[in-house]
Structure 1
Amino acid sequence: MKRILTLLSIPLLIIVTACGETNNAQSGDIVVETSVGNITEEEFVQQLKDLYGETVLNELVQKKVLLSKGEELGIGEEEIQSEIDTLKESLEIEDDQQFQQFLQMQGIQSEADLRERFLSHLVLQNLVGHVGEFTEDELREEYELGLEVEARHILVNDIETAEELLERARGGEDFGELAKEYSQDPGSKDDGGNLGFFQRGIMTPPFEEAAFYTEVGSISEPVPTNFGYHIIEVTDRKEFEDSFEEVMEKLRDTLNNRKLYHMSQMQEELFENVEVNVLDEQFKLPKFTN
């Protein structure tokens, strides 16, 4: 049940709009008559394009991407229906009315909308792995990484600079001095990039993961985040005082948050790697054009 609710809370870039039956009216046909003037099909469609056109086009492009990737991965209606059946069974839903009430409570427009969400989930699950499912060995490995790490970092805007500074730092130049000269983080650069001790959940997921998996005294490979590129030197580590059993669920939440982040990143990459040529000059989709 927890896995299913997590799935439904995953932020999706795709939101499928409900569509009615196709209207066969021509562009000059009248769709509404009033005593003060008529509204033509052309006026009606243009107004919809002006108000919602770019949003709908984005949604349709994203839908095409997911459908294509789903086909490539061999994900069909059978797999999607299995997910829906599992959802109904876990919620003890016995009829269509209960199911529709559940969809409304979750803000899901229709079963078609739900199917699109499950398709997105299955595509990302195939690419990244299951959400919320971790072995005891994976949890114990995370436990061995300790409660907190102490680190300092250098933040720059491009990968080339990050790689150059990494080579210089690993070659023996003082990390703190490099941070003071080159780091773009105003909160830490004057202190040599020092961030002090921090636990899981404080830093953005890729930064956190790199910091905890870097050995004390070592410097990470460049880590991309929304802020730029980081090289991270881990200077100390504090072990857990609590037993593994006492913190196991917290560790599971940590790994789950990282998995959700990776899923979000993978979804964006799927869309960004698609070439889109917008033929209607009214619209621009910079996120999808190369």
Structure 2
Amino acid sequence: MNRSNVLKSVVILQAVCMIVLTGIVVMKVWPLLQPRGNTQTNELNTTHDNGQDGNAADQGSENEDKETVASVGGKPIARSDLDAELYRQYGDAVLREMMLRMAMDMEGEAKELDVPQEELDEAFAAEAEGYDSVAHYLTVMKEQLGLSESQVKEGLRYRLLMDKIRMEDIQVTDDEVEQYIIENAQLFEPKVSYHLQWIVTTTEVQAQSVLEKLEMGEPFGELAGQYSQDEFTKDSGGDLGVIDAKDPFYDQGMLQTASAMTIGETAGPIAIDEGYAVILLADKEEEAQETGAALTEKVRKKLALELAKPQKTAEDELLAKYHAVVSK
């Protein structure tokens, strides 16, 4: 991966973090903030059925609170201390999100708003578009954010439900949708992407030498390993992966050159910030242009959300509507 690709990955990850940050706190910390001991009616009934007065459960809770979860220099850290620290740092955010999700569920039921599985699946696929595959996306979510697939989808479901709540009373006409599409036609052009490999050299003469070796039949990947100055890609045959044709993180001259190439063709030298590049178009993909009802509804939602109240305002009003009260 070259430096621009590293930057791209960082930006994508930052965007994902912004989206899921609130949900992460709930998903990862919520279980640790649940009251311990006699919190469930069925647990109370079980102890009473056994002829006990609940003292056994209280004792169990005390033992659990004293459980050692870690130690430093032989000094233990008790689960109760961990819970207290988690509550101190994240308690307010977790509590708000718990209440908000309950209020969203109530509003969804009252207004008959839901998120069908098909809609959730489509949104999930869209979330993974910036990655090599869905599996890669889930790996990043797990390794970087600690989220399982079910946790990612649950957070996404609530985001979609909140969008529906915000848009419920907003009307966007067909004429407004059509006008937006006409005025922003460039946004709906077919998506084109290139799978590129490159060899980066310091001088144009070196790049010409590489081209000559390619013309003599030497493999591109081997030449990348021998001559490329890009430490991120030289050991993988100069593979840059799949790049969107309009990706602003890559040299536009290089992408313009790629647009006129056929699969398997090489080109260069191309002047870039790092020096000169010789590129190989390994593959080219073009997605069908989105049209019809799917495009209409996508634009309608976009316009409705732009007209809707800010999300924080909508959340506060929803909590007030369902009398969310913090008892502490």
Q: Scaled by the length of structure 1, what TM-score is found?
A: 0.40
Q: Scaled by the length of structure 2, what TM-score is found?
A: 0.36
Which is greater in Rg?
A: 2
Q: Which has the higher helix share?
A: 2
